[in-house]
């Protein structure tokens, strides 16, 4: 059974978002799906992406409805940890005032993988406190949806790999 949770502080705050999901696949497969452009540009972004998987590398994600978003990779520790900073506005590089940080942590759980996602930095966004809280709330819902997409995507890959 796959379980997705998202937690944080009470509504109206800009505390980090924490979400965890159990994915029925080995860590190496989940790592590939969250770090390789052909996968990330499918389950997360719906119109493609590019990934330069190294500290300082660029990540570009495209959505048909939302536009192109840019990110910078800070930490790459295969297959257990990935940290990126991404711009909260389309078509701009992430930089202080417009970025949040997303940390993906993977750990084995039998034949499955527990994936933990923490998005932080909402309190540094240059916007009103009300807008920051609204933005965070939207991302809480977004992570629930995206982690569901990830789980279904990996299940589809697993089914394709069956003899």
- Give the model confidence (pLDDT) of 25-46 as tens digits: 999 999 999 999 999 999 999 9
Predicted TM-score (pTM) of this structure: 0.89
Which residues face 101 on adjacent strands? 85, 120
Distance CA 127, CA 133 (A): 10
User: Cis peptide leading into 108, omega within 30 of 0?
Assistant: no
97, exposed or middle or buried, with CB in 10 Å at 0-12, 13-18, 19+?
exposed
Domain of residue 58 covers 4-161
CATH code where residue 16 lies: 3.30.530.20
CA angle 138/144/147 to nearest 5° reads: 130
pLDDT band with cut points at 50, 70 and 90 for residue 6 = very low
Total of domains in the chain: 1
């Amino acid at each position: 059974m796959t379980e997705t949770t998202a937690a944080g502080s009470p509504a109206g705050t800009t505390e980090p978002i924490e979400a965890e999901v159990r994915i029925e696949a080995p860590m190496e497969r989940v790592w590939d799906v969250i770090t390789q452009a052909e996968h990330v540009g499918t389950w997360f972004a719906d119109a493609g992406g590019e990934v330069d998987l190294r500290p300082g590398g660029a990540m570009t994600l495209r959505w048909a409805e939302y536009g192109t978003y840019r990110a910078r990779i800070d930490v790459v520790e295969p297959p257990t940890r990935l940290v990126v900073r991404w711009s909260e506005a389309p078509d701009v590089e992430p930089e202080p005032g417009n970025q949040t940080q997303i940390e993906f942590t993977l750990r084995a759980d039998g034949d499955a993988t527990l994936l933990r996602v923490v998005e932080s930095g909402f309190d540094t966004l240059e916007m009103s406190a009300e807008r920051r809280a609204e933005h965070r709330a939207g991302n809480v819902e977004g992570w629930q949806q995206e982690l569901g997409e990830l789980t279904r995507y990996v299940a589809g890959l697993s089914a394709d790999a069956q003899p």
